[in-house]
């Protein structure tokens, strides 16, 4: 199969997907080439930032902050929650869900129907 494009963007990280969306908005036939495969063997968009960088790290930091607030700060507000514990599996599941939502959003933008 061979197709012709006006613009081919290599990489779908924040640099690539923004460039590709803009090129498409300008009416250029645009393709994105991505080699990233996630741990389920599926090609995924979003690059370092969405898959392993900015987004997942902030999701985990948010969870960590909530834990320390519950452990160390709630009592001063008169909120009693008992002993705070960490469920790492649940924390990681939440992080994965956020990553899936955001990488899925980029995938939706790259479909023929455009960004939701």
Ligand X SMILES: Cc1cc2nc3c(=O)[nH]c(=O)nc-3n(C[C@H](O)[C@H](O)[C@H](O)COP(=O)(O)OP(=O)(O)OC[C@H]3O[C@@H](n4cnc5c(N)ncnc54)[C@H](O)[C@@H]3O)c2cc1C
Binding-site ranges for ligand X (CB under 6 A)? 10-16, 33-36, 47-49, 53-54, 57
13 DSSP 8-state letter: S
In terms of CB distance, is 42 or 77 closer to ligand X? 42
Least distance to ligand X from the beta carbon of 3, Å? 17
In terms of CB distance, is 25 or 43 closer to ligand X? 43
In terms of CB distance, is 53 or 105 closer to ligand X? 53
CA distances from 21 to 29, 48, 88, 108, 113 (A): 10, 18, 36, 11, 12
Least distance to ligand X from the beta carbon of 51, Å? 7
In terms of CB distance, is 10 or 26 closer to ligand X? 10
- Locate 106 and state its tokens: 């980029």
Least distance to ligand X from the beta carbon of 84, Å? 25
Task: With CA atoms as reference, report the closest residue to 29 among 16, 38, 18, 20.
Answer: 20
CA distances from 77 to 68, 69, 84, 85 (A): 14, 11, 16, 19
């Amino acid at each position: 199969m061979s197709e012709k494009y006006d613009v081919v963007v290599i990489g779908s990280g924040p640099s690539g997907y923004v460039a590709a969306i803009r090129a498409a908005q300008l009416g250029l036939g645009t393709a994105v080439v991505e080699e990233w495969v996630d741990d389920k063997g599926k090609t995924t968009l979003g690059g370092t930032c969405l898959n392993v960088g900015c987004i997942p790290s902030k999701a985990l930091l948010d969870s960590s902050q909530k834990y320390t607030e519950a452990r160390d700060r709630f009592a001063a507000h008169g909120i009693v929650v008992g002993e705070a514990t960490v469920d790492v599996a649940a924390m990681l599941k939440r992080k994965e869900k956020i990553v899936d939502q955001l990488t899925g959003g980029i995938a939706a933008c790259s479909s023929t129907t455009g960004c939701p």
